[in-house]
Amino acid sequence: MQISGMYLKKAKPGFTLIELLVTLAILGLITALAAPSVNAWLSSRSADAQRQELSSTLALLPLKAISSGQTLHIESASDLIDNTLGVKISSPIVVLENGYCKGGKIIIQHGSSLRRYSVSVPFCELVMDTENAS
């Protein structure tokens, strides 16, 4: 087909440089907005995993006391779990040889967040204290 002595050229498939730059700018803005919430979510999941590990270990203490026939005195976080980073026992946990847990207090610090827990009587369950400070 001819138009005033010239041939009509077909457009080449693909994206222009402007379209690619606009797309990259939009993706950058979305990433900048989403990154802080993803980081907070990951931190929260990590803290929850540590709390869950501690809770599972505490639940086994009465069984350990019964099987050993000895009273257990837990005064250090390293007596409970391997990953003691941010875990502190503020009041010793005592489990009698018959499996009766006399309770205790635990503080878990994860980043700037500080959580206080009580070890409940008689089953050594981990219970969050109501006066938690963040």
CB atoms within 10 A of CB 80: 18
What is the total count of domains within the chain?
1
Q: What is the DSSP letter of 66?
A: H
User: 75 lies in a domain?
Assistant: yes
The range of the structural domain enclosing residue 34 comes to: 16-128
- pLDDT confidence of residue 89: 93
In a domain, 107, yes or no: yes
User: Is 9 inside a domain boundary?
Assistant: no
The confidence score (pLDDT) of residue 72 equals 95
The confidence score (pLDDT) of residue 85 equals 74
Instruction: Give every residue of the chain whose pLDDT is below 50, as ranges.
Output: none
**Residue 4 has what pLDDT?**
58
Does any domain span residue 6?
Answer: no
Q: Can you say how many angstroms the Cα of residue 109 is from the centroid of all Cα atoms in its chain?
A: 11
**What distance in Å separates the CA atoms of residue 102 and residue 92, rounded to the nearest whole number?**
9
Whole-angstrom distance, CA of residue 20 vs CA of residue 14: 10
- 58 φ/ψ angles, rounded to the nearest 5 degrees: -65, -35
- 84, part of any domain: yes
Q: What is the pLDDT of residue 18?
A: 95
Q: Are 33 and 70 in contact (CB under 8 A)?
A: no
Query: Does a structural domain hold residue 56?
Result: yes
CA distance 63 to 5: 95
Question: Is the residue at 3 inside a domain?
Answer: no
Calpha distance 117→26 (Å, rounded): 44
**Domain-located, residue 48:** yes
Tell me 12's DSSP state: P
